[in-house]
Amino acid sequence: MLIGVVVAALIAIGVYMNRGIQGKLRESTDQIGEQYSAGHTTSEYVIKTEMTQIENMTPGGAVTTEITRNKRTKTGSETIEALDQEKK
């Protein structure tokens, strides 16, 4: 009888632990949803790439490429609509 009570208690604890984990996961995903929404994000960027490369072709047709400089610069802005606007 005592073993049955202990097993029942462990099963009940497992159910409550599972609910707690699911609740925490739901809370975490809700926070992420408030931070970013792809459908309601406006971005405007200018990307500038500067590169110096040397290509050599041998008489047999093989090509070798040497890149001596590769610089990429990204500037701009990103706007995310308010959560109340997203739900409309």
Same domain, 31 and 47: no
Q: Which is more confident, 67 or 75?
A: 75
85 domain residue, yes or no: no
Ramachandran bin of 86, using left for φ above 0, alpha for ψ from -120 to 50, beta for the remaining angles: alpha
- State the amino acid at position 13 in one-letter form: I
DSSP conformation letters of the chain? -HHHHHHHHHHHHHHHHHHHHHHHHHHHHHHHHHH--GGGEEEEEEEEEEEEEEEEE-TTS-EEEEEEEEEEEEEEEEEE--HHHHT-
The pLDDT of residue 87 is above 70:
no
**Which pTM was predicted?**
0.36
Domain assignment present for 11: yes
Residues 20 and 44 in one domain: no
Q: Which residue has the higher pLDDT, 27 or 38?
A: 27
Same domain, 27 and 42: no
Residue that wins the pLDDT comparison between 62 and 33: 62
Establish if 13 belongs to a structural domain. yes
In the predicted model, is pLDDT for residue 23 greater than 70? Answer: yes
